[in-house]
Structure 1
Amino acid sequence: MKFSHSIQFNAVPDWSSHYIAYSNLKKLIYQLEKSVHQSNVGDAESRPLIQQEDPEIVFARALDVELEKISSFYVVKEKELIDDVQSLLRDVGAFEDESAGADELRPAARSSEPQLRPSLPRSQSTRSRISTEDGVEESEDEGDETAGLTTNRKRRTSFSRRRAAPSAMLASTTDMTASTDLTRSWRRDSMAFDDYAEQAAIFSSGIVLKKKIINLYVQLCELKSYVQLNRTGFSKVLKKFDKIIDREMRSKYITVHVDTAYPFRLDTTKELEDYISTMVQTYAAVVTNGDQEAATRDLRSHLREHVVWERNTVWRELIGLERRAEAASLGHTLLGRDADPQKLLLQGDDERLLLPTKEISTPLGRFKYPSWLFSSTMFTLMVIVSLFLMLIFIPILEKPEQQNCLALLVLVSLLWATESIPLFVTSLLIPFLCVVLKVFRGNEEPRRRLCSKDATAAVFAAMWTPVIMLLLGGFTLAAALSKCSIDKRIATFVLSKAGTKPSTVLIANMAVAAVASMLISNVAAPVLCFGIIEPMLRNLPAGSDMSKAVIMGIALASNIGGMLSPIASPQNVVAIGIMEPAPTWGQWFFIVIPVGLISLTLIWVLLLVTFRPGRGTTIVPIRPVRDPFTGIQWFVSVVTLCTIGLWCASHQLESVFGDMGVIAIIPIVLFFGVGILTKEDFNNFPWTIIILAAGGLSLGKAVNSSGLLHTVTEAITIRVQDFSLYGLLVVFSCLILVIATFISHTVAALIILPLVYDVGKGLDEPHPNLLVMAGVLMCSAAMALPTSGFPNMTAIMKEDPAGQRYLQVKHFISRGVPSSLLTLAVVVTVGYGAMRVSGM
């Protein structure tokens, strides 16, 4: 959670205006950053400040204002609470005297109870020393917001006046949980009316004291939290200033100004903790019969309840935002592109989800129906299901299992292509339909259709393979690198060496995006890179061509990076599961490294020629992370490198590990076993991608087992039998490039690569792995549209501080189409040569 949000959710609501203005200080830092790097930009009012004053002086002045505000509020609030503590302790003394007097009349009562008269801690500061005389003046600022939660304690009455109305006190304190403990030793089987009235008065006084102790304990703890939160705020905002402005102001300002300010001094903190301890002792004396552990436990419980209740509104707003996002997502799923998220309302106190409805008039009255029933998405679903039923009942192929498998293949392919329902939901349909339609056949000759029970075992065995474990291993490495900020450290280090020349900065960002995609997937890499270049984007003029070139370059390079390692993208994992024998990491790198380097260089030249980012551009250099490498980061780095090394040598170690999927278990066990990753990290894995890949593997197994793949392959082979291997490579590469441009890269791989493998296997000179390898590279090379892959979708949504998108669709068409064609040319030339040399 960002610290600006942490302040919002942890601050005492009534004190919100008295906390450090963290967001405003961050805005000032960004303004100072611009003044440092663009001193000639700005209006006439800002120029004298920019030219004459050092950023440290300007920022220190703003911090001084915040520090004075916090110190003034703390002094007022501390004095008010200490007054209340003094008053409380006098009341406790009177209560004990009254109880002792009652005990003298009844010697048998409370003879064994300990007596405790808490001592008040003495402050070393004259500002916190308060007179203990009875004539302490009450505060007259009940309406002031600095009074906070203390207004309910302004009306104090004497101990004797509270005794006069015991029934009223009892009526107002029935919610206190330990009331029976307070007077357990005072009860008698029978007592006179006067004795009962006196005991009732003491009982009600004890309840009032308990409530006052709890109130003071809560407020003292909130004051302590107020100090801690503000000190953290000063530390974090100074750290951000040093990082962005490249200064070393943090330690000096904290030592000289913050640590010496009254609220943050060690003696002040010690005094506040003594008051909190006094409340615990007082509670133990009055309520828990001297048991301080029980008193501490009770008071902390009340503190937790108070925090939940007091800040309920803030948390409800947070939950409301989360549910609105879920509602918008649900509406988009049900209504497709016709969905209007603004109409998906969360109404009422229980925030129930209300989906849009429409009304229709009939002779019987007006009826409401969900809008999605007649949406374009529902119409698409009906067409797809109708086509599926037609293929089931209209005979096209001789064997029923092949006929059913063809219908299944068409249904799944259309659902994936149109995304009428979520992709992973379509994947979950595959094992269900495979069993119901009985598309699996046995392996023994003659090959007969399997019964439902045997088909269930076969389809689920196909879904969970070593390929899925390899995918999980890749997600684990990516999560560990990201959580320990190793990816960011490497990226900022490389970018810091790029200097300020626009062309060099552009290629450096593209290289970092490609390598990050190779290590942590091309889904997370663009997000990481966009975060790193944010300072540079802030300081570029609005509409700068450099901004467009860098964002476009990161997106296109991330697509190229998706082909650079077997775990960089899901389609690579699918391809490895199809190829027999699966290529080693060494073979993969031998093919993709030259293809990736040449493609990146050509795309870089294309962006330089079309955007011309060097004109009138001032680049803010990226600064590396200066913190030393920790032991945990070294551990994660070593485990990652060792795992990749074992994957590269998997064929040589096949007698030991058997498959790369088994090696993937090593980082999973190590990172989750030692606590670097937690179960929350495991739950946050992209399980939808895993289900999608598992469904694709089961579909490939079904198409192969039913014989449909063999039938289709024979039909295609007859038509391409005159084609050379290179001709087939070009044809299938172009076909896959076009298809993957309009549908998901992973979906394109799931649908087409099994067919490509079988076609290559049926050639006179079989090279199935070569065709599959070229096909999966072209899946990653499809980047002509904003919807062609996750990196493009991330880039098109990137907005400037004014809320305007940096890129438009025309930018992707004019640069993405040529980039895809350039990568196609590299794959069918350089890539083809590398594949032949590697033995594919």
Structure 2
Amino acid sequence: MKFSSSLKFNAVSDWWDEYIAYDALKKHIYQLEKQQFSHEHSQSHDIEAQESSSLLHGQDTSNTDALFIPLLDRELQKIVAFYQQQEKELLDDLNDLEKDVQEQDDIGLQGGEHYRDYEDDEHEHDDDDDDDSVSASRSPDRVRRSLSRQRKLSHAGRVQRPPAAGSSTDQRRHSLSSFEDPMEESYASLHHQRGPRGALGKLGSKLTNLKDSFVSSAGSSGDQTIWNARTDYAYDTRLLYKRRITNLYISLTNLKSYVEINYAGFRKIIKKYDKVTFSELKDRYLHNTVETATPFTRESKDKISNAIDRLVELYTKCVARGDKTVARQQLRLHQRENIAWERDTVWRQMIGRERRGEGSGDDIAGATLIHEPEATIVDIPTPVGMFKITKRKISKLVALVVFILCLNIQIVEGREANRCFAILSFCTVLWATEAIPLFVTSMFVPLLLVLLRVIRDSDGVPLAPPEATKYVFSIMFSPTIMLLIGGFTISSALSKTNIDRLLITRILSLAGTRPSTVLLTFMGVSCFASMWISNVAAPTLCFTLIRPILRTLPPKSAFGPCLILAIALAANIGGQSSPISSPQNLIALNAMDPQLDWASWFAVALPVSAISILLIWLLLLVSYQPARSPDGDGYIEIKAIRPTKEPFTLKQYWVTFVCLFTIALWCVAHKIEGLVGDMGVIAVIPVVAFFSTNVLKKDDFDNFMWTIVFLAMGGIALGKGVMSSGLLEVMDVIIRDLVQGFSLYAVVLILSPIVLIISTFISHTIASVLLVPIAKTVGQHLPGDRSNLLIFITGLICSTGMGMPVSGFPNQTAATQEDELGELYLTNMDFLKNGVPASIIATLVVSTLGFVLMKIIGL
């Protein structure tokens, strides 16, 4: 959790304005960073320094410490003043409480002489006291008002009587029942439920007599005091002091927490300042300034701790009957209840609302990263409310209509083949329109395959539902799925141990300050990271790393949108570079017979990806001219990335070894097939190695992208269904007629633009699910069975569809990037102007260089 969120979550709500202004200081740091970089840049070119911002007030921008320290001092003064006020008031309350307890000791039980005279007007005070008891435990300021009021009432009680604390004597006894004997509690419960009359009333009367006998015997054994007597007056007095002590205890512990949180805030914000501005202020300011201020001195901490100990002693005496252990437990329980109330009512409801998806719009598909409420096309009033017609509802209706029509109209020969065609059409419409989440559509596949009895045996006889169920689910969890889970495990381990950020920052630190070099370096890093931590997480990580660069760019600089788009395009290219970098690669591997080993995949994919990155880099340089300053009079210089100085830990060495060992085994999987059986078995190695050594935990396993796993499982099941139902045989005849007379390369040139167009407008994974079986069928009817080659080309081109903002996860993430003013860096025109040409370039590289390399490796 970020510290700004942790601060809000742990702060006392009524004191929010009195805590360190962490977010405001962070914004000042970014402004200072920008001014510092502008100053250094202007000095390096020997030109006049730019005008200072309003924050700097004309001071020297190079001396950031002199500008930031006054901001810290202002926050520290605010915290010191607030702490001193709170400390004085609370300690005064404690002193008054101790005096009142001493006076109550002196008066003893004599203060209850006139108690019965005031029983009649007891209910006049009930509501006020109940409200006070509830609110007092919520807010420190209300606690103080409650303490003041109770103090006045306790003074009045020593002359006449203590104030009523509840709606009845029995309720007051119940409040202290944890410290009284069980007989008292039984009597109070019975008396409260049924009153003194009737059978239970008689039983209560007997219990009362029995209680009196115990009380009299207890009284004869020793002297009674106000703190252990059994009278109603003693109960009310103890309840009054229980409230006062508890409320004051909560206030003091809140003040102690206030000091700890603010110290952590100073430490965090100065650490961030040092990291951003390359300063060394943290140790000096914390030791010389913060730790010498009143709230943070050892003397002040001891004073608060001593006050808390004094309250424990009072609670032990007044409520817990001398049991100090019980007193500590009860006070801590009250403190936890107070904290839980604060968090539950203020924050956890908000967090729960977000987790439930409330307030984010109805009917969200959940298939993409951009979740926006869908616009309503038409509102139709109905007797049960307004019915909203949206695009997704129309898409669902269209899919249902297509499904019903295909089932009832003989489109292809064979009953099972026609039903499978209906399932294929139904899923294609839902996948293309994303009317429902993509993985939910995948779950329709096994359901419909079994219910419609599409699966056939080797003799062409439809399988019964029990046999069909076993077959479908056995093929859904294939070695390919295990390979996908192994890839998720490696990705999670690299991210959790910070290896990805450590390596990337060290590489980026070598890029220098030239915009063209920085751009190419980030593209290479984004592509490489996408190979191992998925093309979903890699661009997100890169976008985080470029924030310091974006903050120091001149306004309206072309380098910002150019860099963001370059990272997204490179991440898409990285999606084709390794077998585990994207689901479409795994679907292609699963369809190959025999499966391609990793060494052969790298022999083709790495040169193709490298050439594509270089050509797209040149395209972006020509299109954006990112090195030019916005006014066109000069050139910009990029702030250098600071390398991470943290050394490798033993855990990081372990993760690196396991990852490299697993990848090496994948590369030689065919040579050791007699030992391991399949690459899916090798994928178990990182799962066992990382989870058994606590590198990863159960929560990490829960956070795997299981929606993608189920999406791939549905695609595999659909492919097997097409083969088993006989639909593939029907498609064979049609496709054979279409490609008859064409050479292999002509088929590649025909297939490539079809795959590119489809993968641009729908999910890359779904495009591979639909197109890989077609490519396989086409290849089987070419001389020499070229199915593996066409499947490989189809899988690679599926990752090159990146011409639209919705074309793949990297584009969707890039489209949401905003500057400090909340304006988007990229527009649809950026994608059309640069994404479409980049897609065409990458496709041509696959269909030319990739084709040659595939022929060389024997496909």
TM over 0.5: same fold?
A: yes
**Closer/same/farther in 2, CA of residues 675 and 217 from structure 1, 3 Å limit:** farther
Equivalent position SS for 1:447: coil
Q: Which moved more, 1:715-724 or 1:282-291?
A: 282-291
Contact 1:560/1:780 (<8 A) preserved? yes
Give the whole-Å Cα distance in 2 for the aligned partners of 1:792 and 1:340: 16
Give the structure 2 partner of residue 489 of structure 1: 502
Contact 2:486 2:687 (C-alpha < 8 Å) held by counterparts:
yes
Deviation, 1:35, is 1.1
Displacement, 1:471?
A: 1.1
Q: Map of 1:345-424 to 2, 5 A cutoff?
A: 358-360=379-381, 367-372=383-388, 374-424=389-439
- Shift in alpha-carbon separation, 1:284–1:177, aligned structure 2, 3 A: farther
Q: Aligned partners of 1:330 and 1:675: how far apart in 2?
A: 39
- State which drifts further: 795-804 or 622-631: 622-631
Amino acid corresponding to residue 80 of structure 1 in structure 2: E
**TM-score, normalized by length of structure 1?**
0.87
1:268 corresponds, among 300, 313, 322, to 300
CA-based RMSD = 3.1
Could you tell me how far apart the structure 2 residues matched to 1:671 and 1:334 are? 30
- Find out whether 1:169 has 2:165 as its counterpart: yes
Residue 180, structure 1, aligned to residue 180, structure 2:
no
Seen in structure 2, the aligned counterparts of structure 1 residues 45 and 13 have a Cα distance that, compared at 3 Å, is: closer
CA distance in 2, matches of 1:158, 1:408: 78
| Separation in structure 1 between the aligned mates of residue 323 and residue 666 of structure 2, nearest angstrom | 61
Q: Show the counterpart of 2:247.
A: 215
Q: Measure the CA separation in 2 of the matches of 1:577 and 1:175.
A: 72
One-letter amino acid of the structure 1 residue matched with residue 757 of structure 2: V
Aligned length in residues: 779
Secondary structure of the corresponding residue to residue 157 of structure 1: helix
Assess if the C-alpha contact under 8 Å between 2:36 and 2:61 holds in 1.
no
Distance 1:595 1:175 in 2: 80
Give 1:369 shift: 4.6
Q: CA deviation at 1:98?
A: 5.8
Report the AA paired with residue 470 of structure 1. Answer: L
Q: What secondary structure sits across from 2:383 in the alignment?
A: strand
Give aligned-pair identity as a percent.
42
Q: Residues 671 and 282 (structure 1 numbering): CA distance in 2 closer, same or farther, change over 3 Å? A: farther
Q: Secondary structure at the match of 2:60?
A: helix
Aligned residue in 2 for 1:539: 552
- Contact map agreement 1:182 1:206 (CA 8 A) in 2: no
Contact 1:516–1:525 (CA under 8 A) maintained in structure 2: yes
The code of the aligned residue for 1:165 comes to: R
Does structure 2 conserve the Cα–Cα contact (< 8 Å) formed by 1:602 and 1:822?
yes
Residues 279 and 666 (structure 1), Cα distance of their counterparts in 2 relative to 1, 3 Å cut: farther
CA deviation vs aligned residue, 1:756-784 (integer Å, no higher than 9, x gap): 11221232211211111111000001111
Change (3 A) 1:262 1:479: same
Deviation of residue 633 (structure 1)?
Answer: 2.6
Q: Take 1:232 and 1:34, find their aligned partners in 2: how far apart are those partners?
A: 26
Q: Specify the alignment match of 2:68 in structure 1.
A: 59
Aligned positions of 1:254-653 closer than 5 A = 254-315=286-347, 318-319=350-351, 322=354, 325-333=357-365, 341=373, 358-360=379-381, 367-372=383-388, 374-443=389-458, 446-616=459-629, 617-653=636-672
Normalised to the residue count of structure 2, the TM-score between the two structures is 0.85
CA deviations on 1:520-556 (whole Å, 9 max, x unpaired) are 1001111111111011111212321111110110010
Q: Is the 8 A contact 1:647 1:660 kept in 2?
A: yes
Moved more, 530-539 or 79-88: 79-88
Shift of 1:52: 6.2
Partner of 1:107: none
Deviation of 1:238 after TM superposition, in Å, equals 0.6
Contact (CA 8 Å) 1:259, 1:265: kept in 2 or not? yes
**Structure 2 CA distance for partners of 1:83 and 1:459, relative to 1, 3 Å:** same
1:661 deviates by 1.7
| 2:85 corresponds to | 76
Match of 1:116 in 2: none
Residue 189 of structure 1: aligned partner = 213
**How far does residue 78 in structure 1 lie from its aligned partner after superposition?**
1.6
Alignment partner of 1:202 out of 217, 234, 240:
234
How many Å separate the matches in 2 of 1:368 and 1:570? 43
Structure 2 residue matching 1:38: 3-state secondary structure: helix
What SS does the aligned partner of 2:638 have?
Answer: coil
Which segments of 5 or more consecutive residues in structure 2 lack a partner in the other structure? 40-48, 112-135, 185-210, 217-223, 630-635
Q: Does 1:836 align with 2:851?
A: no
Q: Structure 1 CA distance, aligned partners of 2:295 and 2:483? A: 54
Could you tell me how far 1:399 is from its partner in structure 2?
1.7
Q: Any idea what SS the aligned residue of 2:823 has? A: coil
Distance 2:173 2:675 in 1: 66
Report the equivalent of 1:89: 98
The aligned amino acid for 1:744 is S
Alpha carbons 1:518, 1:564 under 8 Å: kept? yes
The answer as to whether partners of 1:549 and 1:613 remain within 8 angstroms in 2 is yes
Cα separation, partners in 2 of 1:286 and 1:668, compared to 1, 3 Å: farther
Correspondence for 1:114 = none
Task: State the secondary structure of the residue aligned to 1:583.
Answer: coil
CA distance in 2, matches of 1:686, 1:396: 37
In 1: Cα distance, 2:372 partner to 2:23 partner: 32
- 1:14 Cα deviation (Å)? 1.7
**CA–CA distance in structure 2, aligned partners of residues 99 and 665 of structure 1:** 74
CA distance in 2, matches of 1:516, 1:44: 38
In structure 2, the CA distance between the partners of 1:763 and 1:271, relative to structure 1 (3 Å rule), is same
Shift of residue 320, structure 1, vs aligned partner: 7.3
- The worse-fitting range, judged by mean Cα deviation, of 789-798 and 728-737 is 728-737
Q: Does 618-627 or 578-587 show the bigger shift?
A: 618-627
Counterpart residue identity of residue 290, structure 2: V
Structure 2 counterpart of 1:14: 14
Deviation at 1:2, TM superposition (A): 1.7
- Whichever residue aligns with residue 24 of structure 1, its letter is A
Taking the aligned partners of 2:214 and 2:658, their CA distance within structure 1 comes to 76
CA distance in 2: counterparts of 1:264 and 1:343, whole angstroms: 54
In 2 relative to 1, CA 321–457 (structure 1 residues): closer, same or farther, beyond 3 Å?
closer
Instruction: Please tell me the residue identity of whatever aligns with 2:667.
Output: C
Q: Residue 571 of structure 1 contacts residue 746 of structure 1 at CA under 8 Å; is this kept in 2?
A: yes
Deviation, structure 1 residue 147: 4.9
Paired residues of 2:455 and 2:721 also in contact (CA < 8 A): yes
In structure 1, how many angstroms separate the alpha carbons of the residues matched to 2:290 and 2:13?
24
> Which whole-Å CA distance do the structure 2 matches of 1:567 and 1:357 have between them?
44
- Give the C-alpha shift of residue 581 in structure 1: 1.8
Q: Deviations over 1:238-265 (max 9, x none)?
A: 1110111111111111121122222112
2:269 is paired with a residue whose SS is: helix
1:230 maps to: 262
**Deviation at residue 205 of structure 1 after TM alignment:** 1.4
> What is the CA-CA distance between 1:792 and the residue it aligns to?
0.8
Is the CA contact 1:73–1:146 (under 8 Å) kept in the aligned structure 2? no
Deviation per CA, 1:154-199: give whole Å up to 9, x if none: 232375632533571354894786613545499523989x999983
Are 1:727 and 2:727 an aligned pair? no
**Is the alpha carbon distance of 1:295 and 1:740 closer, same or farther for their aligned partners in structure 2, counting shifts above 3 Å?**
same
Partner of 1:24: 24
Distance 1:722 1:505, change over 3 A: same
CA distance in 2, matches of 1:160, 1:771: 93
SS at match of 1:803: coil
Aligned to 2:42: none
For residues 641 and 647 of structure 2, what CA distance do their matches in structure 1 show? 18
The answer on whether the counterparts of 1:466 and 1:662 sit within 8 Å (CA) in structure 2 is: yes
- Counterpart in 1 of 2:633? none
Q: CA deviation at 1:334?
A: 11
- Which residue identity lines up with residue 794 of structure 1 in the other structure? T
Distance in 1 (alpha carbons) for counterparts of 2:591 and 2:374: 44
